[in-house]
Amino acid sequence: MDVTPPKRSRPRIDRFAVFWASPSLVWQVAFFVAPLVVLVWMTFWRVKNFKLEQDFIPDNWIRIFSSGFFYDAFLYTFWMALVAAVLITLIAFPAAYALAFIASPRTRTLAIVALITPFFTSYLVRIYSWQIILAEKGIINGVLGLAGISPVNIIGTSTATMVGYVTLALPLVLLIQLFSLSMVDKRLVEAAYNLGCGPLKTVFKVVVPSARVGLVIGGTFAFLFAFGDYVSPLFLGGSKPPTLSILITDQVKSGNNWPRAAVVAVVMVITLMATLTVMSAVAYRRRGGAR
């Protein structure tokens, strides 16, 4: 009796799906993978007489990683981005919760339109507006002066940089949280109330776990935006202390040293990709730690 197991058939390739997926794949290869490869390659070049020369030497990596200012900039940038992610998530959640569970459909629609509107305005213009508000003779200090309070120095501080980060990422994070909370099964919330849970306990025991993916992804986007931002640290923070994005421009201005700037850029890309990978795993992890 022949007991030979049947041969497994090869999985068929869906040509229709491949056809529609190919433009996106080509785009990613042409405008992300290829530039990233060139960027990594550039880190091994050298600058001689203010001119780039193709080479393959590790000097740029050694110089950057042996410099204390690089580690200071990295830790400051990472810390500021982490604080921004937590702060923006905490600010956005109450508003997103109110819109998802309390507000009427009409109010929710108007709020979504209001949250989308800032994306129609240049981020740089919004930062310049904050300069007017936070300046030494700006609106905030003008109001404090009327109250008899001495002016507060805000521009050129980490606080001003954080204001820029919130301006950049808050609308998007709030939208992500709103869409995630809107998908929460309202019957679970009603069941929690029927079982005697108070509003606060229901939020942390039912709503937050059910909307975990959106909350984590929203916070991750806030971190990514803040970590790579250049405008806020420059125009609001005054580049003191410098972030990694400002360190890149400093390296370019210092002897046209593009290879060292490329090293900093590659470190930023690796950090962002690692953060996104870890947070995606956290967001989509099943309860109990099972994958």
pLDDT at 48 over 50: yes
pTM of the complete model = 0.89
Give per-residue pLDDT as tens, 215-230: 999 999 999 999 999 9
Please report the pLDDT score of residue 240 as a whole number: 85
Domain ranges of the chain: 81-257
Q: Phi and psi (nearest 5°) for 51? A: -125, 140
pLDDT at 268 over 70: yes
Task: Return the top range by mean pLDDT from 5-19, 69-83, 138-152.
Answer: 69-83
Give per-residue pLDDT as tens, 157-200: 999 999 999 999 999 999 999 999 999 988 888 888 888 888 88
Q: Tell me: cis bond preceding 241? Omega within 30 of 0 counts.
A: yes
If you write DSSP's letter for every residue of 155-213 in order, what string do you get?
A: TTSHHHHHHHHHHHHHHHHHHHHHHHHHTS-HHHHHHHHHTT--HHHHIIIIIHHHTHH
If you write DSSP's letter for every residue of 81-102 in order, what string do you get?
A: HHHHHHHHHHHHHHHHHHHHHT
Please state, in angstroms and rounded to a whole number, the distance separating the CA atoms of residues 240 and 275: 25
Domain 81-257: CATH superfamily, name plus number: MetI-like (1.10.3720.10)
- Beta-bridge partner residues of 52: 47
- Proportion of the chain in helix, strand, coil states, percent, rounded to 5: 75, 0, 25
